[in-house]
Amino acid sequence: MHKNTSILIIYTGGTIGMKQNPETGALSPFNFEQIEQEVPELRKFGFDLHTYSFEPPIDSSDITPDFWVSLAKIIEQNYTKYNGFVILHGTDTMSFTASALSFMLEGLDKPVVLTGSQLPIGMLRTDGKENLISAVEIAAAQQNGQPMVPEVTIFFENRLYRGNRTTKHNAEHFNAFRSDNYPFLAEAGITIKYNFPFIHYTTGKQDLRIHTKLDSSIGVLKLFPGITPEIVKAVTESKGVKAIVIETFGSGNALSRQWFLDIISEAVKNNIIILNVTQCKAGSVDMDKYDNGLKLKNIGVVSGYDITFEAAIAKLMFLMGKGFYGEKLAKELTKSISGEITLH
């Protein structure tokens, strides 16, 4: 770890950037330019730390694709100046942002680590300090002059995950995130141990290229027992929808009622891509496994394999933003762009 390592900490908003007024108990954002005063432990690294704050801070429930574009541009503008980037972000949509950035930052060969906290950094039992300190250490970590983890990740509660494999699974506990279909990339204990076989390394020198066109013309259809034709049509016939994520049961199964298959088939004929993502947090879509899944495959529904819902949304926005629609989009969805799916 080099003392002349430079890290840019980007504060977007979220719980981690709050401190408590000792008199009123109210929470308010603190000045991130004084981050080393709030977290003096950071000084011990001896890194050259700089901060960038979104004004005003953004509640992560209000995140939009335009915000992702702003983030990508900040990284692009500062890419040659820093060895790594730490993004402080509200937990609610952190997995969406990490997934989107993993697609938008083509040729990335530096760490981009997202983190946050469940308790504000100014509170006594905060998880924010530990998350921030470890995220900075990981963003700065090098071996033989090369970054340890040159991809978009999320660090939370002692573990580093590939960003586009995560989902927030707990609103109360410190271990808020999981990556059920891909191993963690590092674990922080007394030392930080890296899971090297599962970290993505670029081959050869690549220049960063950001993608700023995103198309959010996406519908979401979550299946449940008793769903009606009217509900399904409300999604498939929604004006302007170009792709639909269908959240299915188990290994990609749906009801086999003819009315349902007819509606989905009609949507496919209208050039709407239907991406099959399981409601299960772990495991993969396999439409060949059961007859109910096979019926979806036969009418042109595309397998999402083991993709998370968050990554599915971000991947569709990214690919449609690049101009892929219809059959071309279906083909691109079955490729792994940045390690977001496991292809068997």
Which residues are the active-site residues?
15
Q: 22 and 28 in contact (C-beta within 8 Å)?
A: no
Nearest to 92 by CA among 177, 162, 197, 26: 177
Cα(224)–Cα(247) distance, rounded to whole angstroms?
9
User: Residue 173 has which token pair?
Assistant: 């506990």
What's the residue count for the chain? Answer: 344
* Token pair recorded at residue 45: 């690294």
Q: Which pair of tokens denotes residue 120?
A: 């504000």
What single string gives the DSSP state of each residue in 44-91? GG--EEEEEE-SS---GGG--HHHHHHHHHHHHHTTTT-SEEEEE--S
Q: Which of 149, 117, 114, 142 is nearest to 130 (CA)?
A: 117
Q: What is the CA 158 to chain-centroid distance, rounded?
A: 18
Q: Residues 278-302, buried b or exposed e (16+ Cβ, 10 A)?
A: bebeeebbbbeeeebbebbbeebbb
Work out the end-to-end distance of the chain between its first and last CA atoms, rounded to an integer number of angstroms. Answer: 37
Structural contact between residues 153 and 112, judged by C-beta atoms closer than 8 angstroms: yes
DSSP 301: P
